[in-house]
Amino acid sequence: MAHPSQLVLDFTQVKRGDVGLVGGKNASLGEMIGALEPKGILVPPGFATTSEAFRMFLAENSLDAAIAEHLERLADGKAALQTVGREVRDLILEGDWPDEIATAITARYRKLGEASGETDIPVAVRSSATAEDLPDASFAGQQETFLNVIGEAALLDACKRCYASLFTDRAISYRQIQGFEHDQVALSVGVQQMVRADTGGSGVMFSIDTESGFPDAVLINAAWGLGENVVQGAVDPDEYQVFKPFLDRKNLSPILEKRLGAKAIKMIHDRDGTPRNVPTSKAERQQFVLSDAEILVLARQAKIIEQHYGQPMDMEWARDGVTRTLFIVQARPETVQSRADIGTLKSYTVQDPGDVLLTGLSVGSAAVAGRVSIIEDASDIDRFIDGSVLVTGTTDPDWVPIMKRAAAIVTDHGGRTSHAAIVSRELGLPAIVGCGDATHILHDEQDVTVSCAGGEEGVVTAGLSRISVAEETLDALPETGTQVMLNLANPSAALRWWRLPIDGVGLARMEFVVNGAVRIHPMALAHFDQVTDPEARAQIEALTAGYRTMPEYFVDKLSRGLSRIAAFCYPKPVIVRMSDFKTNEYADLLGGRGFEPHEENPMLGFRGASRYYSDQYRDGFALECQAIARLRGEMGFDNVIVMIPFCRTPEEADRVLSVMADHGLTRGQNGLQVYVMCEIPANVLRAEAFAERFDGFSIGSNDLTQLTLGIDRDSDVLAPLFREDDPAVLAMIGMVIEKAHAVGAKVGFCGQAPSNDPDYARHLVGFGIDSISVTPDSFVQVLRNVSKAEHR
């Protein structure tokens, strides 16, 4: 007979090495209580039944031989999975608790209540298999969890149902896939005091970026109420991303991303204590679950937990609705990105994509083409056709057997930490989650292409597109004396390039962030009273809802968008070009038409530097400056260099630098460098005068070619004459490099030519260019071209 102390252990008696005794979940909870509570990690108290108790339960009810017989019939193909699973679960549920185990469990439960000053306290009852949460297998959601269990009888019943859940169809299937012998896995039950998250909030957190594997980000998902909706993907949660290296600097707020989720439902406790879903209020849907301070507290806890375990972690958290105290309720190793081969980079390109049918959050970076199979209920999974694109509302662990047979997965609901997302990553499948209405828009046997290759937004397009895959071995890339940098426009795709051995970002185009993340003309935000279009006013008011002021919306969205680009290669330099829309492009922003003049040739008109000190745009430029000041100051990204486009004269440069200083951006102050685009012949001819005012030049070959040769770069008729390698253009480039170097200024090149033409890199290296900035897809080839040119 086992001693009671071997049957049930308090979490304080358990450590991380006790997986064989109490399973991965419970071992981790005990480890955190013992080692991390002094560091501010709060874990609700509780206890765990041991594997010894599980094996005693089976032995006392003579179940071992019967279970083995049923599983042998499954292995021999004599019985179906569903039949065997149901029969084994029934055997366990019909078993009786040995007195020793029942007494040990109820005694610990009463002790837990006494410590909190309550009788029959609500507890969460979680399954913890002795082979789960290993570095190479997550066992995510394979066994059951029961929330808000109250009273001794209900507790014993929930514990027995946890035992039975070791033999759910999904758990049996998963062990077969992972190669675990069924009789080598036991089950521990964790009994943990409930956090009143039903009136607060809860969610999931990773100490690594789940899509790119970027190790310096913490990803947090949050929803109202109990956390099961986030885990199962039944709700579209808020999403926050935080830059980990700055978390030790308490004066900074390095929150890279705040995405408001729909949060249409929340799980609460019904009158009888059972959990149920109810619709959220309009106010809850429009409000972030976590404050900025709470986001940073959780991110710091993720960093502490990761450092303690020495590996990236997947955690669940809950916030008490009464005290607003934040608790960590689970922590396990992250099992996908932490095992990825960081020495190899795969990039996918969809050739000639069809019309866009759906968008959602991308999971992974791959793309596939296939035929749709819509399955809206797990009872219909027999209809699934192997190799097709699984389209469904949401998934849970019951879906794993068909998910592993899918080419891709598309769901209506869920975030990046939902079940569908986690399993898709583990299986290496591209998935797009939270599309909203995929099951309504798509239909069975429809040919589609599912692409996660474009950053955070995944796209489903019509038809079977051709997909190309490029694979690079990064440790074989050459080193160069010339810096090779990236041109980036899309913040959502920036983190995926962190493995590239780049020297920084030579061009981050602000206008792309304004167009994608802000969408509103800055003057319309600074002077909303002058916006007369009713439809534009309504859209602007909807987008800026929840912000203290409309200008704050612009500063917040722009600074966070740019921070993603500044973060992935920190502390290497990131050159952010201030907005370079043409007037016709500015007019297309929400509310923009009333603030932009009509021009016959916008390419040569009111653009770049001339706008920044003009009364027609000065207040808009002020918001751009405030965003950069916040990015470099409050957020900590002092690696950001500012660049001024289309600056026609040194005198114009003086006016722009003066306006920037008025808004907290003084060249040389706090290490701020300011560059100028070299794209006008005057920039070359008066290079020494420009070099007195700027720290460096970046050559924009498109405009420099246009203005040197007098060719409209958008003209189809003159296209054959538009050559960036024309001797006159090359002479301009050689001249500005020589003049700039003579006075100690740096010169980079951010045009497209080196990406398209290997010989162009040779020209630039020959001129002594300091850096070449290219698109990510051409980086590897340009790096090799530069290396060859240097060796010549």
The amino acid that residue 484 corresponds to is V
Could you give the CA distance from residue 19 to residue 166 in angstroms, rounded to a whole number? 16
Cross-strand bridge partners of residue 127: 189
Cis peptide upstream of residue 571 (ω within 30 degrees of 0) = yes
For the chain, the C-alpha Rg in angstroms (whole number) is 30
Kindly provide the residue ranges of all beta strands, DSSP E only, lying in 553-653, ordered along the sequence: 574-577, 640-644
Task: Give the helix/strand (H/E) hosting 410.
Answer: strand 408-411
Half-sphere exposure of 747 (CA within 13 A, CB side): 29
All residues at 6 or more sequence positions from 610 whose CB lies less than 8 Å from its CB, including other chains: 646, 648, 652
Could you give the CA distance from residue 446 to residue 437 in angstroms, rounded to a whole number? 15
Tell me the DSSP string of 642-701. Answer: EEE-S---HHHHHHHHHHHHHTT--TTGGG--EEEEE-SHHHHHTHHHHHHH-SEEEE-H
Helices (H) and strands (E) in the chain, counts: 29, 30
Torsion of CA 281, 284, 285, 291, to 10 degrees: 180
All residues at 6 or more sequence positions from 599 whose CB lies less than 8 Å from its CB, including other chains: 582, 583, 584, 605, 606
| Assigned token pair, 470 | 């490029």
Could you give the CA distance from residue 738 to residue 747 in angstroms, rounded to a whole number? 9
Would you give the DSSP letter of residue 325?
-
Of the listed 162, 625, 750, 763, which one is catalytic? 750
CA angle 19/24/26 to nearest 5° reads 95
Give the 3-state secondary structure percentages of the chain, helix then strand then coil, rounded to 5. 45, 20, 35
| Closest to 129 (Cα-Cα) out of 184, 177, 92 | 184
User: Please, where are the H alpha helices in 225-364?
Assistant: 228-232, 282-285, 292-309
Half-sphere exposure of 694 (CA within 13 A, CB side): 33
233 φψ region: left (φ > 0), alpha (ψ -120 to 50), beta (else): left
The answer to whether 43 touches 327, Cβ cutoff 8 Å, is yes
The amino acid that residue 751 corresponds to is G
Mapped onto helix, strand or coil, the DSSP state of residue 515 is helix
310 φψ region: left (φ > 0), alpha (ψ -120 to 50), beta (else): left
Largest CA distance in the chain: 95
| Assigned token pair, 369 | 């083409």
Cβ–Cβ contacts within 10 Å for residue 275, how many?
16
Could you give the CA distance from residue 575 to residue 675 in angstroms, rounded to a whole number? 8
Assess whether 452 carries a catalytic annotation: no
Assess whether 419 carries a catalytic annotation: yes
Of the listed 182, 419, 521, 763, which one is catalytic? 419
The answer to whether 308 touches 328, Cβ cutoff 8 Å, is no
Catalytic residues: 419, 750
